[in-house]
C-alpha cells in the first residue's frame, strides 16, 4: 500500500542525504507508538502496566534493529498501537466521534499494510463474538463499508498481490520450511537477529527465556489482555500459513505482544513466583539480545553489520569503469547512490533518491 512510500517521498527532500535524518520519523513513530501502547496497558492493567510497557518497548533489542529502519515498519507499529487504544475507547463509549476516529486509523493502517485487514478482523471478532457488544453489528458494518469504499483505488493491487502469493494454495514452500522459519522469527522477535539460534550457549538461555515468558504470561494474564496475546498468535501464525512471514513484518503486529507482556509482569493478582519467573525470563531475553548487539559477534543475518558504505565506495569505482553492479539490498543501494554522487557520476544537485 502507498501510505508509507508517500510519506517517505515527502520527507526525503527534507532529510536530504543524511541517513540519521531519514531514520528520524521511524524512531519518532516507534517511540510514540510505545507511549500509545502504554496508555492501552494502563487502561487494562493500571499505572504499573503503563511503566512496564514503556520499559519493555525501550529495552527491546528487536526494536533497536527494526524500528530505526526507513520503511513502513515503525509506521505500522504506530498505527496498530493507535488503533488498539482507539478500540478500547470505542468499546468503552461507542459514540459517532470515537467510531469516526477508529475508522480513520483503520483506513490509515490498511493503506500502510495489507495485513491490516487481518488485524481488523481480529478486532471485529473480539467485538462481535467475544464481547458480544450490543452495537457490534452496527460498528463492524459501518467500519467495513467505509473501508471497502475508501479502498477502491487499492483493490486491483490486492488482486495482483493475492495472485502472486497464490502458490501457497498449491503447496509453495514446504510446511517444514515454514515451520522452521516461524520458529526462527519467533526467536528473533524476542532477542533480535543479534544472537543466532545456533549461537550457543546464549541461544539456549534465550529459548528458555521465551518459554518462561510466554508460559507465565498465559497463566497470569486476565481475560482481556490474554485475548490480545491469542490474537498476536493468530496474526503470527497467519503470516506463515500465507507464506509471507519474515522478521521485518513482525514489528507491525508486535504491539499485541508487548501489551499483554506489560500487563502480565505488572499484574498484582499473579502469584509472586510466577511474576518473578516472568521477570527473570524477560530480563534474560534482554540481556542476551543486547549482549549480541554490542558484541556484534553472533548475528544470524549480516544485513545489520555489513560495512555498506565501504562496499559501495569500492563498487562505485567499478561502475565508473563500466561494470554493472546488481543488488537487492536497499541499504547498499542507498550507500551506492551516495558513493556515485561523491565521485561525480551523479550530480551533486540531483534530487535525492535510492
Q: Yes or no: say if 231 and 256 are a contact pair by the CB < 8 Å rule.
A: yes
3-state DSSP assignment of residue 344:
coil
pLDDT digits 0-9 by tens, 114-171: 999 999 999 999 988 877 767 777 888 888 999 999 998 888 877 776 666 555 555 5
Describe the crossing of helices 255-266 and 47-59 by its angle, rounded to 10 degrees: 130
Percent of the chain at pLDDT > 70 equals: 94
pLDDT at 251: 96
Confidence of residue 58 (pLDDT cuts 50, 70, 90): very high
Query: Is the model's pLDDT at 18 over the cut of 50?
Result: yes
pLDDT at 351: 55
pLDDT digits 0-9 by tens, 208-253: 999 999 998 988 888 889 999 999 999 999 999 988 999 999 999 9
Query: Is the model's pLDDT at 342 over the cut of 50?
Result: yes
pLDDT at 286: 93
pLDDT at 130: 76
Cell numbers that stand for 147 in this block: 473501508
Query: Is the model's pLDDT at 350 over the cut of 80?
Result: no
Backbone φ and ψ for 348, nearest 5 degrees, come out as -60, -30
Query: Is the model's pLDDT at 41 over the cut of 80?
Result: yes
Distance CA 117, CA 98 (A): 20
Query: Is the model's pLDDT at 302 over the cut of 90?
Result: no
pLDDT digits 0-9 by tens, 256-288: 999 999 999 987 665 777 878 888 889 999 999
Count Cα neighbours of 173 within 13 Å in the Cβ-side half-sphere.
15
298 versus 132: the higher-pLDDT residue is: 298
Q: Indicate the average pLDDT of the chain.
A: 88
pLDDT at 108: 97
Would residue 18 be called left, alpha or beta, if left means φ above 0 and alpha means ψ between -120 and 50 degrees? Answer: beta
pLDDT at 140: 86
Neighbours of 79 (CB within 10 A): 28
Distance CA 24, CA 11 (A): 10
pLDDT at 170: 56
Cell numbers that stand for 37 in this block: 501502547
Query: Is the model's pLDDT at 55 over the cut of 50?
Result: yes
pLDDT at 273: 79
352 versus 107: the higher-pLDDT residue is: 107
pLDDT at 30: 97
pLDDT at 354: 46
Distance CA 119, CA 109 (A): 9
Confidence of residue 309 (pLDDT cuts 50, 70, 90): confident
Give the chain's largest Cα–Cα span: 71
Give the N- to C-terminal CA distance of the chain in Å, as an integer: 19
Describe the crossing of helices 223-241 and 255-266 by its angle, rounded to 10 degrees: 150
Confidence of residue 13 (pLDDT cuts 50, 70, 90): confident
Cell numbers that stand for 82 in this block: 493507535
Neighbours of 29 (CB within 10 A): 20
Amino acid at each position: 500500500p502507498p501510505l508509507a512510500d508517500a510519506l517517505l517521498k515527502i520527507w526525503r527532500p527534507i532529510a536530504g542525504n543524511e541517513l540519521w535524518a531519514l531514520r528520524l520519523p521511524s524512531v519518532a513513530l516507534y517511540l510514540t507508538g510505545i507511549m500509545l501502547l502504554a496508555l492501552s496497558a494502563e487502561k487494562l492493567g493500571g499505572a504499573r502496566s503503563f511503566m512496564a510497557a514503556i520499559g519493555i518497548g525501550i529495552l527491546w533489542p528487536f526494536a533497536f534493529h527494526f524500528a530505526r529502519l526507513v520503511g513502513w515498519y515503525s509506521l505500522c507499529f504506530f498505527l496498530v498501537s493507535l488503533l488498539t487504544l482507539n478500540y478500547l475507547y470505542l468499546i468503552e463509549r461507542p459514540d459517532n466521534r470515537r467510531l469516526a476516529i477508529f475508522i480513520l486509523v483503520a483506513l490509515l493502517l490498511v493503506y500502510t499494510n495489507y495485513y491490516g485487514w487481518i488485524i481488523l478482523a481480529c478486532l471485529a471478532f473480539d467485538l462481535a463474538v467475544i464481547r458480544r457488544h450490543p452495537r457490534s453489528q452496527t460498528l463492524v458494518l459501518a467500519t467495513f463499508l467505509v473501508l471497502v469504499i475508501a479502498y477502491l483505488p487499492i483493490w486491483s493491487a490486492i488482486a495482483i498481490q493475492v495472485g502472486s502469493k497464490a502458490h501457497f494454495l498449491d503447496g509453495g514452500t514446504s510446511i517444514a520450511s515454514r515451520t522452521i522459519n516461524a520458529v526462527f522469527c519467533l526467536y528473533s522477535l524476542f532477542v533480535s537477529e543479534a544472537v543466532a539460534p545456533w549461537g550457543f550457549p546464549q541461544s539456549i538461555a534465550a529459548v528458555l527465556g521465551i518459554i518462561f515468558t510466554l508460559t507465565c504470561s498465559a497463566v497470569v494474564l486476565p481475560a482481556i489482555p490474554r485475548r490480545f496475546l491469542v490474537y498476536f498468535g493468530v496474526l503470527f501464525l497467519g503470516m506463515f500459513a500465507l507464506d509471507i512471514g519474515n522478521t521485518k513484518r513482525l514489528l507491525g503486529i508486535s504491539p499485541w505482544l508487548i501489551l499483554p507482556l506489560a500487563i502480565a509482569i505488572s499484574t498484582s493478582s499473579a502469584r509472586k513466583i510466577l511474576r518473578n519467573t516472568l521477570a527473570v525470563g524477560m530480563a534474560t531475553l534482554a540481556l542476551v539480545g543486547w549482549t549480541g548487539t554490542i558484541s556484534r559477534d553472533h548475528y544470524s543475518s549480516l544485513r545489520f553489520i555489513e560495512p555498506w558504505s565501504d562496499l559501495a565506495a569500492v563498487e562505485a569505482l567499478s561502475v565508473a569503469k563500466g561494470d554493472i553492479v546488481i543488488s537487492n539490498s536497499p541499504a547498499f543501494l542507498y550507500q551506492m547512490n551516495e558513493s556515485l554522487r561523491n565521485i561525480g557520476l551523479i550530480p551533486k544537485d540531483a534530487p535525492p533518491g535510492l
